[in-house]
């Protein structure tokens, strides 16, 4: 099983394949499209990540000391971004998630590329995941 | 003289740049318009040569600044054909203008009376009236809208009645582009003796307004949507109306006498201009008005109308493209959704291709609710936009839609 570090590295390499940001966005969109949709009854307001311009539902649970994430969004780019977070963090030990260094968002340039309001949404998603991870690893 | 968009563009240096490696196509003009050199130069000229506080000093610079500011008041009077310059108030913006009236009416309105707005107002023409109604117990009513985004005025007699204190509505909708039937609404309001306020946020850069021929009580404009600086609004009010209401901000400049016990207010327009005014903004706005009038609002709006028709026709070829707001009379705004695609996603991918549009609810949540949508993409046109830019916009939009499907 790849570690959080290795997963981040793999994503960074994936993004390096594209020179154009439109192609990078295309990759994010494809990740969003391939993320399974959450059933309607799971898309309740308690699961909404605050501070996102579009609706992002994030479900965090703990299975055998591991964090398991599922998510959905009404906008596909937001869904692609949350899909990347799932790729990196889901199925990882809670303790590791809580203490993980978030490198890839900066390394792929996404943070600089998002408008401030959208970057806040992304920070908000990461916070939410870490918050649960911390609670679950206590 | 023929309309020469390329000459006009030379006056707007900001347009000549790349965004994400693509030429900027600025189609967010309903949010704010770019500023021509004439405006930028007027502001720097003021700071380079005659910055001083106005109305107070006897020294030369103060006199010059005061004269410059007061001559803009006169130019605004001419522009909207007000009776006298004292009826032109400089505010912080349209939001401030509307709050000034809504607050000023607090003592003139009571339970049993009502305030009428429309179903297509900007939040800034909803919330101040809701607050007024909460303070006074008056009822807030609205003129409804149909599925084309046009006001339904055949039931106007029931909505605007003898208990109506004021009818406040926009000339042109910022979200739908609808040009509203101002004169019908004003005429019904006059019949019952209701006061009237027209929000000219979107009409300022697109339509010539004559407040005397409208016989409207209050009219408000936004400088930054008319190619002028931000932070400045114009509030026109008939003298008798402005004299009848109280100011909501106290301070310097707006008083006649002050003792520690009691102050008396200055006359118009100063009564509503507490504090040091936005002098650079006012001077910049004077330059913007001059610029606008030299090209001519009618020629500008004819050009924008051609762009709007061209863009609507081109974009309609995209599968699932749906215009929000199909009013017969529309100005300069193309608001739309593409079925199955979130407006934010389109906004991001358009921005990547150098196209600046607005996405979301445009401060008009009730309109979104009425059309049962989360938000729209809004492309809005100005004097400097070109047909080539519409082509770029169209191909960027097609590419975005293909990626997102």
Mark yes or no for CB contact B342/A118 under 8 Å: no
Whether residues B264 and B317 share a domain: the answer is: no
Q: B315 catalytic, yes or no?
A: no
The answer to whether the CB of A104 falls within 8 A of the CB of A12 is yes
B161 and A CB contact within 8 Å: no
Residue B261 exposed, middle or buried by CB count within 10 Å (0-12, 13-18, 19+): exposed
Whether residues B366 and B283 share a domain: the answer is: no
Identify whether B107 is part of a domain: yes
- Of B264, B293, B322, which residue is a domain's last? B293
Identify whether B154 is part of a domain: yes
- Of B260, B293, B326, which residue is a domain's last? B293
Measured between beta carbons, the chain B residues lying within 8 angstroms of A77 are: 344-345, 348
Whether residues B82 and B205 share a domain: the answer is: yes
Q: Per the structure block, which two tokens stand in for B163?
A: 């208990």
Confidence at residue B110, expressed as pLDDT on a 0 to 100 scale: 96
Whether residues B304 and B281 share a domain: the answer is: no
Nearest to A67 by CA among A100, A26, A40, A20: A100
Measured between beta carbons, the chain B residues lying within 8 angstroms of A29 are: 345, 403-404
Confidence at residue A113, expressed as pLDDT on a 0 to 100 scale: 73
Confidence at residue B260, expressed as pLDDT on a 0 to 100 scale: 87
Whether residues B153 and B209 share a domain: the answer is: yes
The answer to whether the CB of A66 falls within 8 A of the CB of A14 is no
Provide the number of structural domains found in chain B: 2
A25 and B CB contact within 8 Å: yes
Whether residues B119 and B255 share a domain: the answer is: yes
Could you give the CA distance from residue B264 to residue B401 in angstroms, rounded to a whole number? Answer: 62
Could you give the CA distance from residue A97 to residue A130 in angstroms, rounded to a whole number? Answer: 6
Q: Per the structure block, which two tokens stand in for B400?
A: 């975005």
Give the domain CATH number at B118.
3.40.640.10
The answer to whether the CB of B189 falls within 8 A of the CB of B217 is no
Whether residues B251 and B354 share a domain: the answer is: no
The yes or no reply on domain A4-38+48-137 and CATH 3.20.20.70 is no
For chain A, give the number of residues.
Answer: 138
Confidence at residue B53, expressed as pLDDT on a 0 to 100 scale: 93
Nearest to B235 by CA among B207, B261, B271: B271
Residue B2 exposed, middle or buried by CB count within 10 Å (0-12, 13-18, 19+): exposed
Identify whether B35 is part of a domain: no
A21 and B CB contact within 8 Å: yes
HSE, CB side, 13 Å, CA atoms: give it for residue A119: 10
Mark yes or no for CB contact B348/A25 under 8 Å: yes
Instruction: Please give the residue range of the domain that contains residue B23.
Output: 5-30+296-404
Give the domain CATH number at B310.
3.90.1150.10
Could you give the CA distance from residue B304 to residue B206 in angstroms, rounded to a whole number? Answer: 8
Whether residues B279 and B379 share a domain: the answer is: no
Confidence at residue A101, expressed as pLDDT on a 0 to 100 scale: 85
Residues of chain A with pLDDT under 70: none
Strand order in the sheet with B164-170: B88-91, B233-237, B218-222, B195-199, B164-170, B114-118, B139-143
Could you give the CA distance from residue B190 to residue B299 in angstroms, rounded to a whole number? Answer: 32
Whether residues B11 and B103 share a domain: the answer is: no
Whether residues B215 and B339 share a domain: the answer is: no
- Of B293, B325, B352, which residue is a domain's last? B293
Whether residues B26 and B147 share a domain: the answer is: no
HSE, CB side, 13 Å, CA atoms: give it for residue B102: 29
Confidence at residue B1, expressed as pLDDT on a 0 to 100 scale: 58
Q: Which of B351, B353, B404 sits opposite A76 (nearest CB)?
A: B404
How is chain A split into domains, by residue range? 4-38+48-137
Q: Which of B349, B374, B403 sits opposite A74 (nearest CB)?
A: B374
DSSP-assigned states of every residue in B83-143: S-GGGEEEESSHHHHHHHHHHHTGGG--TT-EEEEETT--GGGTHHHHHHHHHH-PEEEEE
- Local confidence pLDDT in tens for the 405 residues of chain B: 589 999 999 999 999 999 999 999 999 999 999 999 999 999 999 999 999 999 877 899 999 999 999 999 999 999 999 999 999 999 999 999 999 999 999 999 999 999 999 999 999 999 999 999 999 999 999 999 999 999 999 999 999 999 999 999 999 999 999 999 999 999 999 999 999 999 999 999 999 999 999 999 999 999 999 999 999 999 999 999 999 999 988 888 888 888 888 888 889 999 999 999 999 999 999 999 999 999 999 999 999 999 999 999 999 999 999 999 999 999 999 999 999 999 999 999 999 999 999 998 888 989 998 999 989 999 999 999 999 999 999 999 999 999 999
Whether residues B378 and B330 share a domain: the answer is: yes
Does ipTM exceed 0.95?
no
């Amino acid at each position: 099983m790849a570690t959080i570090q290795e997963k981040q590295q793999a994503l960074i390499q994936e993004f390096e394949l594209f020179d154009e940001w439109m192609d990078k966005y295309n990759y994010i969109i494809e990740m969003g499209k391939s993320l399974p949709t959450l059933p309607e009854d799971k898309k309740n307001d308690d699961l909404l990540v605050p501070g996102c311009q579009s609706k992002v539902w994030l479900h965090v649970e703990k299975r055998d000391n591991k964090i398991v994430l599922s998510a959905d969004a009404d906008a596909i780019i937001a869904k692609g971004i949350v899909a990347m977070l799932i790729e990196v963090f889901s199925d990882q030990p809670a303790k590791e998630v809580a203490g993980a260094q978030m490198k890839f968002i900066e390394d792929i340039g996404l943070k600089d590329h998002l408008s401030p309001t959208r970057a806040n949404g992304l920070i908000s998603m990461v916070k939410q995941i870490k918050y649960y991870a911390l609670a679950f690893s206590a | 003289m023929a309309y020469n968009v390329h000459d006009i563009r030379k006056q707007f240096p900001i347009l000549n740049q790349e965004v994400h490696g693509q030429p900027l196509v600025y189609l967010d003009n309903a949010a704010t318009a770019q500023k021509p050199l004439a405006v930028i130069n007027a502001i720097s000229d003021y700071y380079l040569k005659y910055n001083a506080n106005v109305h107070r000093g006897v020294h030369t610079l103060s006199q010059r600044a005061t004269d410059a500011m007061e001559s803009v008041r006169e130019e605004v009077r001419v522009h909207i054909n007000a009776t006298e310059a004292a009826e032109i108030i400089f505010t912080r913006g349209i939001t401030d203008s509307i709050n000034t009236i809504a607050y000023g009416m607090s003592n003139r309105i009571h339970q049993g009376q009502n305030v009428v707005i429309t179903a297509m107002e900007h939040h800034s023409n909803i919330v101040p009236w809701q607050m007024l109604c909460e303070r006074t117990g008056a009822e807030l009513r609205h003129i409804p809208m149909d599925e084309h985004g046009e006001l339904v005025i055949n039931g106007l007699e029931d909505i605007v009645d003898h208990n109506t204190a004021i009818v406040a509505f926009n000339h042109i909708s910022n979200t739908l582009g609808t040009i509203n039937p101002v004169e019908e609404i004003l005429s019904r309001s006059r019949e019952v003796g209701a006061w009237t306020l027209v929000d000219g946020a979107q009409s300022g850069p697109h339509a010539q307004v004559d407040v005397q021929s409208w016989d409207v009580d209050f009219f408000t404009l936004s400088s930054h949507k008319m190619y002028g600086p931000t932070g400045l609004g114009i509030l026109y009010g008939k003298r008798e109306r402005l004299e009848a209401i109280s100011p909501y901000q106290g301070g310097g400049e707006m008083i006649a006498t002050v003792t520690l016990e009691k102050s008396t207010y200055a006359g118009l327009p100063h009564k509503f201009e507490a504090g040091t005014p936005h002098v650079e903004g006012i001077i910049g706005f004077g330059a913007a008005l001059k610029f606008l009038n030299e090209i001519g609002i009618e020629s500008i709006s004819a050009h924008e109308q051609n762009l709007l028709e061209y863009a609507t026709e081109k974009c309609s070829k995209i599968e699932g493209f749906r215009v929000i707001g199909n009013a017969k009379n529309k100005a300069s705004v193309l608001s739309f959704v593409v079925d199955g695609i979130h407006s934010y996603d389109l906004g991001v991918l358009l921005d990547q291709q150098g196209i600046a549009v607005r996405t979301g609810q445009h401060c008009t949540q009730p309109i979104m609710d009425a059309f049962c949508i989360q938000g729209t993409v809004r492309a809005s046109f100005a004097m400097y936009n070109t047909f080539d830019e519409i082509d770029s916009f169209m191909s960027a939009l097609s590419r975005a839609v293909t990626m997102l499907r």
